[in-house]
Amino acid sequence: MELYQLSAHEAAGLLKKKAVSSQELTDALISRIEHVDATVESFLTTTFEDAVATARAVDKKIAAKEDISPLAGVPMAIKDNICTKGVRTTCASKMLENFVPVYDAFVTKRLKEADVPILGKLNMDEFAMGSSTETSYFKKTKNPYDAGKVPGGSSGGSAAAVSANLAFYTLGSDTGGSIRQPASFCGVVGLKPTYGLVSRFGLVAFASSLDQIGPLAKDVTDAAMVLSMIAGHDAMDSTSVQLPAQDYVSGLGADIKGLKIGIPSDYMGEGTAPEVKTAILDAVKVYEGLGASVEYFAMSASKYALPAYYIISSAEASSNLARYDGVKYGYRSEHYGNLLEMYQNTRSEGFGEEVKRRIMVGTYALSSGYYDAYYKKAQQVRTIIRRDFEAAFGKYSVILTPTSPTTAFRFGTHMSNPLQMYLADICTVSVNIAGVPAVSLPCGFDSDGMPIGMQLIGQSFDEATLLRTAYAFEQSTLFAQARPSI
């Protein structure tokens, strides 16, 4: 086995035993990126010198028998909408093509404090708006299982990098499925934590009431290790919740016998590919074999989640992206005769089509005469969806659904039909609306050899049960061990 094929926890274990050095791990990944990323195109910016310097510092600490953090010396990479001091943070947009933050995001600071080598910044849909990474201003990241298919989005670069063994793990952001859907398409584990568990400080805002940072990893153990590192209260984020620090790894192997799992029948209706449905039903049998109690139920409000999500997220995007006006920072048009023209031309030239589409939808929904009919109504639907989840969790510890109704599709398939693209998020958006945690993990392959993802949804701040349930399935199957032959 090559070093880059290790999981993060395997690499960390070898480091602690002095069987390998952090510099060896880092060099192995840098070499892998240099040979493979020309095909995958997951990185927008590389920071190899900084990564090697961090690795050498970790090796010195190990040689001196100093205590190190659980993931110290294990290289990773970051989605390019998470601020990194002194390193470009573009959001894959022309608008921020040359933006270099003067501060680190909370999660970036946590990584640096833990002595984690950071290999660079990863491609994404522009401003996290998309489900395929096709809206990036710079390039289109490829699915490592089939270069003619999308990796999902908006954290497509983060998922593809883990799948292709270009990083031991990555960070992404999830506003409506942007960690879980690409994790499903690329055959890796993707975790969206409970809203408020991980600070959003330094995450470039798309929809502030929905955004959440989380890990993409090779297996559940790695995801749990990363969550333990990045979770925590932050005074710089008013929505950050103050909870005791938790080790999410320690309880992974506990028995799930008697655990109640609910399956909402509404999530496997028309539009779900037959092979996806089969894989999910096979996963249900695995859980029943492990002694879990599985029951089907209805979540009637789920059919309203998609329209409510796109109204709320677009309205918040309209507000958040108003700051990009060519005055303070970011792109400014060279062609204007007055201030109004400068605003118009800057935003017309600096934003891509999908971002402009959502800004216009959001502005319309917030406009006088339409606010009550659209935005207020969507927020009322949000309350109904939250109550649906609360009622479900009164009976079940975990809810099981497909992550996506289909496997990865070919480039260009939905670019001319935005509504069809939005349907790729139909299984994931309700989780963000309710603010609860969810994880996607591999549960099968279709006839073309493309990964199928299963989504497990948990109660707020009960990531421990969620991850334990995911781990039980992972340990009973071989899907987590599969990797593309790129």
pLDDT band at 168 (very low <50, low <70, confident <90, very high): very high
Q: What is the pLDDT of residue 476?
A: 98
Tokens of 394: 């009164």
Q: What percent of the chain has pLDDT over 70?
A: 100
Active site (catalytic) residues = 79, 154, 178
Q: What are residue 262's DSSP bridge partners? A: 295, 399
Among the listed residues 36, 81, 39, 73, the one whose alpha carbon sits nearest the alpha carbon of residue 57: 73
- Other CB atoms within 10 Å distance of the CB of residue 351: 23
Q: What is the pLDDT of residue 153?
A: 97
Tally of residues, the chain: 486
**What's the whole-number mean pLDDT along residues 2-12?**
98
**Residue 445 is inside which H or E element, if any?**
strand 438-445
Dump the DSSP string for 346-413: HHHHHS-HHHHHHHHHHHHHHSTTTTIIIIIHHHHHHHHHHHHHHHHHTT-SEEEEESSSS---BTTS
Q: Look up the pTM and report it.
A: 0.97
Buried b (16+ CB within 10 A) or exposed e, 212-238: bbbbbbbbbbbbbbbbbbbbbebeebe
Residue given tokens 């039909």 in the structure block: 417
Among the listed residues 318, 253, 261, the one whose alpha carbon sits nearest the alpha carbon of residue 287: 261
- Other CB atoms within 10 Å distance of the CB of residue 138: 16
Strand, helix or coil at 149? Answer: strand
- Other CB atoms within 10 Å distance of the CB of residue 390: 13
Buried b (16+ CB within 10 A) or exposed e, 172-191: bbbbbbbbbbbbbbbbbbbb
Among the listed residues 160, 162, 96, 156, the one whose alpha carbon sits nearest the alpha carbon of residue 129: 156
Mean pLDDT of the chain: 97
For 236-278, write each residue's pLDDT tens digit.
Answer: 999 999 999 999 999 999 999 999 999 999 898 888 999 999 9
**What's the whole-number mean pLDDT along residues 218-244?**
97
Please state the φ and ψ torsions of residue 185, each to the nearest 5 degrees.
-65, -30
Alpha helix positions (H), 195-351: 220-230, 274-289, 305-320, 339-350
pLDDT greater than 90 at residue 416: no
Strand, helix or coil at 77? Answer: strand
> Please, are residues 133 and 156 in contact by the beta-carbon 8 Å criterion?
yes
The Cα 339–Cα 440 span in angstroms is 47
pLDDT band at 419 (very low <50, low <70, confident <90, very high): confident
For 101-149, write each residue's pLDDT tens digit.
Answer: 999 999 999 999 999 999 999 999 999 999 999 999 999 999 999 999 9
> Please, are residues 58 and 114 in contact by the beta-carbon 8 Å criterion?
no
Q: What is the pLDDT of residue 109?
A: 98
Tokens of 139: 């390039």
Domains in the chain: ranges and CATH: 3-236+249-258 (3.90.1300.10)
Check residues 75 and 270 and name the one with the higher pLDDT.
75
The Cα 429–Cα 178 span in angstroms is 9
Residue given tokens 């073309």 in the structure block: 448
Q: What is the pLDDT of residue 107?
A: 98
Among the listed residues 77, 72, 51, 78, the one whose alpha carbon sits nearest the alpha carbon of residue 116: 72
Q: What is the pLDDT of residue 460?
A: 98
Burial zone of 289 (CB within 10 Å; 0-12 exposed, 13-18 middle, 19+ buried): exposed
Q: What is the pLDDT of residue 255?
A: 94
Q: What is the pLDDT of residue 294?
A: 97
For 366-388, write each residue's pLDDT tens digit.
Answer: 998 999 999 999 999 999 999 99
For 297-356, write each residue's pLDDT tens digit.
Answer: 999 888 899 999 999 999 999 999 999 999 989 999 999 999 999 999 999 999 999 999
Q: How many CA atoms lie within 13 A of 53 on its CB side?
A: 5
Strand, helix or coil at 302? Answer: helix
Strand, helix or coil at 140? Answer: coil
**What are the Cα distances from residue 89, in Å, to 141, 211, 388?**
17, 17, 38
> 328: which residues sit within 8 A by CB, 6+ positions away?
none
Q: What is the pLDDT of residue 221?
A: 98
pLDDT greater than 90 at residue 181: yes
Tokens of 446: 């279709």
**Residue 120 is inside which H or E element, if any?**
strand 118-122
> Please, are residues 146 and 447 in contact by the beta-carbon 8 Å criterion?
no
Strand, helix or coil at 273? Answer: coil
Q: What is the pLDDT of residue 3?
A: 98
Radius of gyration of the chain from its Cα atoms, rounded to whole angstroms = 21
